[in-house]
Structure 1
Amino acid sequence: MPAHVAYDCVVVGGGHAGSCAALSAAEYGCQRVLIIDKCPKDWSGGNGYFTAGAHRTVHDGLHDLLPIVNNVSPELASSIDMDPYTADQFTWDIMRLGESRSDPNLVKALVDGSRDAVRWLAEYVRVPFTFSFNRQAYEVNGRQKFWGGMVLSVQDGGKGLIAAHHKALERERIEVWYDSPAVELVMERGRVVGVLVERQGEVIQISAGAVILACGGFESSPELRRKHLGDSWIRARVRGTPYNTGDGISIASSIGAKLTGDWSGCHSTCWDVHAPINHGSRTLSNQFTKSGYPLGIMVNTSGLRFVDEGADFRNYTYAKYGRAILNEDDGAAWQVFDGKIIKWLREEEYGNDVAELVWAQSINELGDRMAEDGLKSKETFLKTVTSFNEAILTHHHENPHLEWNPSIKDNLSTQSTSTSLSPPKSNWALPIDCPPFLAVKVSCGITFTFGGLAIDPESGGVLSAKSGNNGETRVIEGLFCTGEMVGGLFYGNYPGGSGLTGGAVFGRKAGREAAKLNKVFRTP
């Protein structure tokens, strides 16, 4: 292995975003594109591998997306209800969940580029998109009703997404080095001209017309989680790759890259308490998610409810409810359901082969079973269920016209003129009174962190922490960024499916601009 090699473009990180960047660079003219990844080949794919493949995009309704999915027959299509999802809705969802703190220019770039990015993934990368019936639709009165603004998934989830990328990288003859961490960016006259890489026991300098960082946040580093998120995050379970330890952020900041975004925030979710602690499962991947809580209740180990399970559709609340669980005693909670609801739970998350299910024929018996595995007060738990049921019945007497419907915000709640629970359950509230009863113990799973590098929304170029002569921010020439490393896009919470779409949108921009720059500063 020579100590010095040259490529047109080097991408650091081989997950979804990095693959998009590399493929875009090749599409726009780079002849020699290299992906370097510090993980072994057995862990390829980054966090994208562990997702459900959800992509949130602007669309004009069913007819707009039918041409790019592969799981809808004409007969099935006739039974689907799918409202358009506009740019204004997408923008509003990001801004409202982030309490208007998100960078509006980044949000606009993501939203405006979402539909074309999905088209590109389907046509150029050949991602096998599907409609997410099992995650984003309920069958109500014989019709499949999509909800929550997000409808697209991928055949075989994240595994299928990464498999499609690997085939595309092979078609485009893009080289991938595994077990090859980037250790330093190489600068000449104020621009990035390459990267130093540890490979096979030596340090290699790779010269490049452009370098694109796509190696994730710091969620897999307990030390950085403690530093930025707080002490309690030491006990969070890593949902995905164990290799996202903030390396890219570190080497970029060492050359003066601007840091931005929500450094105390992250994407987290309700995660099986029995899942591995420091990494995801390559086999079960996203199946450790436990997302049925809007249809039941969640109680902490003291037996008390602590969130509004029905505040919004699941894909607008799950990214913050992991934090809520972590902040409770023991960092654990129970999801509780009764016989009316169990059939609505997703088999891939609540099946006997992927979860430890606690069954009982009465709430009293369920409390006994939960007490065997950490419930501290059975009496408090029973009181919680009793008061919850009574509040629902009172609300029903005042609103007899309302009907339970999981595909809309049905307003079935615990709040009435005479009874108001704290926290409330604002939608989908049904009494827990029909055996059998089911409890599933959950914890906090951390997906990715929100703090990262500041980028130019149109190019993906990394901004310098130093302003230019006129006081304006300037780009570090030769350096680009995409994926979970981008800061300023999400704050506190985020709408599900936005992460993968963002990786594609900004990855395409970075690859395109890297190709343009390479033509100017072509490596020998």
Structure 2
Amino acid sequence: MPHVVVIGGGNAGFSAAHAAAARGREVLLLERGRPDEAGGNSFYTAGAFRIAHHGLDDVAELLEPDPRNATAVLTPYPQDLFLKDMRELTGGRTDAGLAGVLAAESGPALRWLHGLGLRFRLMFERQSYPDDSGRHVFWGGLAVGSVDGGKGLVSQHTRAALAGGVEIRYGHRCGDLVVRNGRVCGVRWSAADGTTGVVEAESVVLAAGGFEADPRWRREHLGAGWERALVRGTPLNTGDMLRSALAVGAARGGDWSSCHSVAWDAGAATSGDRELTNRLTRQSYPLGIVVNSSGRRFVDEGADFRNYTYAKYGGEILRQPGGLAFQVFDSEIRPLLRTEEYDAPGASVIVASSLEELALSAGIDLPRFIGTVEDFNAGIDESVRFDAAVKDGRASRVDPPKSNWALPIRTPPFYAFPVTCGITFTFGGLAADEHGRVMDADGAVIPGLFVCGEMLGGLFSGNYPGGTGLTAGTVFGRRAGMLA
């Protein structure tokens, strides 16, 4: 009988498994997906980790060799700024205790992973812009990511777990938790070949993701229309273990009515693509304009760095007619877009030699679209210098305004990238303390039951600072594994 059972083989689950195994615990990790389906949502990420740091010298020891490292400019990102971002982006709804632990342990947690053999790099192509002197200026409090993105992250976690003595069983869908004398002491499972069984253990760590892949739960908790959202990541996060935990008395934690969702290629499949993974996002929207099929803008594309708006703008797109929008750029802006996303194989795009042709080809209301572009261009204060690496204040005074990075749409050819809402993960989960110990409705700890990753409620509400999910998974996965 193992000492610890971890349910879910993504970044959080592996972090819990590493920490428990390092204490001499016998650890069994049960992953619902087969080997070619495994990794949870972590597999589909770009691998970004938001950490508090004091600048480039503070993170240098984590980084793979790259000649560009010497040209990197990283503004220090202290813990108090991390906390400020958490409070402001969630409207003050983040749990102060959880957020404090997250900020304080973000850097140490990444160093811990690095010590286990996981590899990291600066995300030059995603998080920096070159300045006039050839330096790469990083922005938005985010710079470090795993080598080879989410695919590399899961592969490196797997190697580290096996080297640490963790047993991994794939294709095991877990269900009811086993409770004896008030303590959670195991879980029932079923395999793809029809076999079933029970694993008993001293502790169970839940790291099986949210309910984002269940359209019925999305509609019930997020609201009407959310059943139409495309799933960015794994189709296996259907809330099974949330249901099981609630059934044994676990309390809900966090905001069950909101989620992380992004601008996603409108031509993508209904669930994640394991080849393209994160390349189906369309995150250069701060450089252009976004219109709906009626030809109207509906968000401030330049309200803040992409890291601070992208996780809520998917929901804004879903609220548009048909749940559809178009990111519009001209030929002068087009070279600035993220190559890995906008030049991805099969990327949905409409190209036209005139704005009229673009609108007609895309099915956008022509008169309103032309008026929107003309008003936007006329409203730009072109005396302000454009600088993509800072909030440059180059605004267009229209309604809604574009507060930064306003570049005119006037040089053909023109580009329209159709986007819809891609849901990443749900913010609601289980109530737990700062060590991941699951609590009941009275605030008492349920013995033997721990939670981490997307299943931990209380960190996020309404919005999210980019790169925080993987960091939270590691911080609280490690904490759960240190006690389980």
Same amino acid, percent of matched pairs: 47
- 2:389 corresponds, among 385, 395, 407, to 407
- AA aligned to 2:412 is P
Q: How far is 1:494 from its partner?
A: 0.3
Q: How far is 1:496 from its partner?
A: 0.4
Secondary structure of the residue that 1:511 maps to in structure 2?
Answer: helix
Q: How far is 1:71 from its partner?
A: 4.1
Counterpart of 2:403 in structure 1 is 426
Secondary structure of the residue that 2:202 maps to in structure 1?
Answer: strand
Secondary structure of the residue that 2:201 maps to in structure 1?
Answer: strand
- Tell me how far apart the structure 1 counterparts of residues 433 and 349 of structure 2 sit (CA, whole Å): 47
- Tell me how far apart the structure 1 counterparts of residues 195 and 350 of structure 2 sit (CA, whole Å): 52
Counterpart of 2:369 in structure 1 is 381
The answer to whether the 8 A contact 1:70-1:128 is kept is yes
Secondary structure of the residue that 1:122 maps to in structure 2?
Answer: helix
Counterpart of 2:432 in structure 1 is 455
Q: How far is 1:210 from its partner?
A: 0.6
Matched, 1:89 2:81: yes
Counterpart of 1:464 in structure 2 is 440
- Tell me how far apart the structure 2 counterparts of residues 94 and 341 of structure 1 sit (CA, whole Å): 31
What pairs up with 1:205-216 in 2 under 5 angstroms?
205-216=198-209
Counterpart of 2:3 in structure 1 is 8
Counterpart of 2:18 in structure 1 is 23
- 1:334 corresponds, among 316, 326, 335, to 326
TM-score (norm 1): 0.90
- Tell me how far apart the structure 2 counterparts of residues 481 and 436 of structure 1 sit (CA, whole Å): 51
- AA aligned to 1:70 is E
Counterpart of 2:179 in structure 1 is 187
Counterpart of 1:239 in structure 2 is 232
- 2:42 corresponds, among 39, 45, 48, to 48
Q: How far is 1:352 from its partner?
A: 5.7
What pairs up with 1:8-407 in 2 under 5 angstroms?
8-30=3-25, 32-73=26-67, 76-124=68-116, 126-141=117-132, 142-199=134-191, 200-277=193-270, 279-351=271-343, 353-371=345-363, 375=364, 377-392=365-380, 395-396=381-382, 400=383, 402-407=384-389
The answer to whether the 8 A contact 1:325-1:444 is kept is yes
Q: How far is 1:23 from its partner?
A: 0.9
The answer to whether the 8 A contact 2:253-2:432 is kept is no
- Tell me how far apart the structure 2 counterparts of residues 291 and 452 of structure 1 sit (CA, whole Å): 27
For residues 45-81 of structure 1, the C-alpha deviation after alignment (integer angstroms, 9 at most, x for no partner) is: 00000000000000110001111111423xx333221
- AA aligned to 2:63 is V
For residues 438-485 of structure 1, the C-alpha deviation after alignment (integer angstroms, 9 at most, x for no partner) is: 11100000000000001111x2110111x2xxxxx2211110000000
- AA aligned to 1:378 is L
The answer to whether the 8 A contact 1:66-1:72 is kept is no
Unaligned runs of 5+ in 2: none
- Tell me how far apart the structure 1 counterparts of residues 163 and 123 of structure 2 sit (CA, whole Å): 28
- Tell me how far apart the structure 1 counterparts of residues 297 and 245 of structure 2 sit (CA, whole Å): 43
Counterpart of 1:520 in structure 2 is none
Secondary structure of the residue that 2:379 maps to in structure 1?
Answer: helix
**Runs of 4+ residues deviating >4 angstroms:** none
Matched, 1:442 2:419: yes
Counterpart of 2:474 in structure 1 is 504
TM-score (norm 2): 0.98
- Tell me how far apart the structure 1 counterparts of residues 204 and 197 of structure 2 sit (CA, whole Å): 15
More divergent stretch after superposition (332-341 vs 213-222): 332-341
Counterpart of 1:513 in structure 2 is 483
Q: How far is 1:202 from its partner?
A: 3.6
The answer to whether the 8 A contact 1:335-1:439 is kept is yes
> Aligned pair in 2 of structure 1 residues 133, 354: CA closer, same or farther (>3 Å)?
farther
Secondary structure of the residue that 1:43 maps to in structure 2?
Answer: coil
Number of aligned positions between the proteins? 482
> Aligned pair in 2 of structure 1 residues 53, 352: CA closer, same or farther (>3 Å)?
closer
The answer to whether the 8 A contact 2:33-2:236 is kept is yes
- Tell me how far apart the structure 1 counterparts of residues 69 and 209 of structure 2 sit (CA, whole Å): 37
Secondary structure of the residue that 2:307 maps to in structure 1?
Answer: helix
The answer to whether the 8 A contact 1:287-1:354 is kept is no
- Tell me how far apart the structure 1 counterparts of residues 70 and 268 of structure 2 sit (CA, whole Å): 40
Unaligned runs of 5+ in 1: 1-5, 416-420, 468-472, 515-524
Q: Which of these two proteins has the greater Rg computed from alpha carbons?
A: 1
